[in-house]
Structure 1
């Protein structure tokens, strides 16, 4: 006979057992799951505190370390005018890193050879036989310097001797001399034909032939080699380094540069405080900030007048250092400048700069470890020690901390 009471008791027992099992499983799983906060707390308790020992150090005083920027010289873009609006590079004779000197043919633009000259000012007009002026005299003086004409012929008038010298200027550099204008060539052809006709005509007098011969000489002089301003670029008398150059096929009609050159000495300019100037000396060592393996010698070439501070630059004297080499250095590099004999150094009790802390009253202090953590984990017990700062450099600062002693351990960083 079935009894409902007993069945209901059996189901209650099964339900109770299942509930207890689920609770036990949840307890076990919950004990193994950890929140991010639990992990952070545990990490903070176990992460080691970085410390360092107080010790004697020789410190190169960074206060006497001057910093500046490298200048490899003055960079100038060289362009050629395009009177007809067309300027295409058809030949290039120089490359980046070459030294471009006066008298050298740079290349060709639209088929016209371009030569480098050291003139006191750019040409402002095309020069041709018969022209006179200070620009003609400047060109003649340069031709004299290059050994292409005598100084006696440099009279400021573009005559036959100047035309011959200009032709030699281009041909000696491997270029083609600029042609005379179409009108000048046509006039010469006409004069020569007139002379030939006079000689062939038996009825012409000797004076007529002589007159025709004189006309030919005049036309030949007028058709001598000209010097268009589009055929000249200016360089310093001592030359300049090519730092950029156009490619064959490039169009310069929009005012683009044929090439860029850099001239002048490689220098570094630093701002030195009044008390730093005597410490620099004449011979210095210049080192790259980016690549500490790069350093070159230098010589102080100029010390400027005292200048009041402006913006981020403090007051002092601008010291210009001429570099003996630029190996490994680039224009605009940040460098340090120290006396070649070595920057002044100081020796004493030192701590890492990263261990110094600022107090509310403006003083500095370190945290000295009095009781290290057990097993290297957790936080040590520390005490504050006020210190007086001395010279600093190389990542350390000399300190006078009263009770601070060599061998003491100070906190550098905490988790």
Structure 2
């Protein structure tokens, strides 16, 4: 959810139009923000979030009715402000008072809407009635987020910048981490596998575990083949991959926000030192037994029946059958 100011609200009926210029930045990527908290400021006006999922498609002021007014009233109630006797969906004096109070708590004057001037009937010398300003909630100042607190995804502006697009982007909930697994290693990774996460650009480090493993995603469609766990939208590899969602052991460090990270997964581990050989050194015979061929001399070899164990980085744990031995440093035949 992004906020892109397109107009500047007035706080005095006689105020002159202003330019769209960033005058304050109070949030940073990865930060968790709450309702009615100034995040960015343009032309000395705040941009803030409120809870709700209905799009803010218009400015709201006294006399307006609709689902967006219902959402505003619920958001005001969620921040502890009542809307008085106003019926649900009707922006009346009670809702206006709550909006005024919300702006005052943020340290800003409430924005005003000036209704069209009314002309009184009478003689040619009669005067126009003075317009009466009503409080309003401008669509340029608020972004509705389905749930709060929300997470700041990006703040692509600095003080002094002209507003030409989004000034802040928010996402609900905490950061999520999705890794891209080579399909050939799909069988090695299961939910619960330990994960080590490093953002090399920022130095942020964390530990966690695999929360879920999705189905194969192919580059021709960009979609997974039947899985729903494919929420990562950036930095996808060009080839096929399996999405792996990783959860941290605690709250994510803010330095992980918008970073590409290296995820190291532990598919299996041994409790002690083991003997291992290259995967290509394992031979399966007609009797389905696994063997390793050891080079004994320049021309001699011996075959050792083995039981295989965990594998990682191209190596496989092997345990010699009873009556056979394998010693560290012995050479084995690879790829016969």
TM over 0.5: yes
Root-mean-square deviation (Å): 5.0
Query: How far has the Cα of 1:405 moved from its partner?
Result: 1.5
SS state at 2:136 partner: coil
Distance 1:77 1:91 in 2: 17
Aligned CA distance change for structure 1 residues 111 and 294 (closer, same or farther; 3 Å):
closer
- SS at 1:392's partner residue? strand
Matches for 1:16-415 after TM superposition, within 5 Å = 76-82=1-7, 87-150=20-83, 152-181=85-114, 183=115, 220=132, 223-245=133-155, 246-253=157-164, 256-266=165-175, 285-288=194-197, 295-297=206-208, 311=218, 322-325=247-250, 326-327=252-253, 333-335=261-263, 343=268, 345=270, 350-353=275-278, 356=281, 368-371=294-297, 380-383=298-301, 385=303, 390-393=308-311, 395-400=315-320, 405-407=325-327, 409-411=329-331
Aligned partners of 1:232 and 1:317: how far apart in 2? Answer: 31
Task: State the 1:103 CA deviation.
Answer: 1.1
SS at match of 2:159: coil
Cα distance change on mapping 1:82 and 1:335 into 2, 3 Å: same
Q: TM-score, normalised by structure 1?
A: 0.53
Match of 2:241 in 1: none
TM-score, normalised by the number of residues in structure 2: 0.63
Q: Bigger radius of gyration, 1 or 2?
A: 1
* Conserved 8 A contact 2:62-2:93: yes
The structure with the largest helix share of the pair is 1
Paired residues of 2:22 and 2:160 also in contact (CA < 8 A): yes
Greater RCO between the two (CA within 8 Å, min separation 6)? 1
Quick one: distance in 1 between partners of 2:327 and 2:152?
A: 58
Which consecutive unaligned segments of at least 5 residues does structure 1 have?
1-75, 192-196, 199-211, 372-379
The 1:412–1:314 alpha-carbon spacing in structure 2 relative to 1, beyond 3 Å, is: farther
Q: Structure 2: 5+ residue runs without aligned partners?
A: 9-16, 121-125, 230-243
User: Are the equivalent residues in 1 in contact too, given 2:152–2:170 (CA < 8 A)?
Assistant: yes
SS in structure 2 at match of 1:153: coil
Task: Describe the SS at the equivalent of 1:138.
Answer: helix
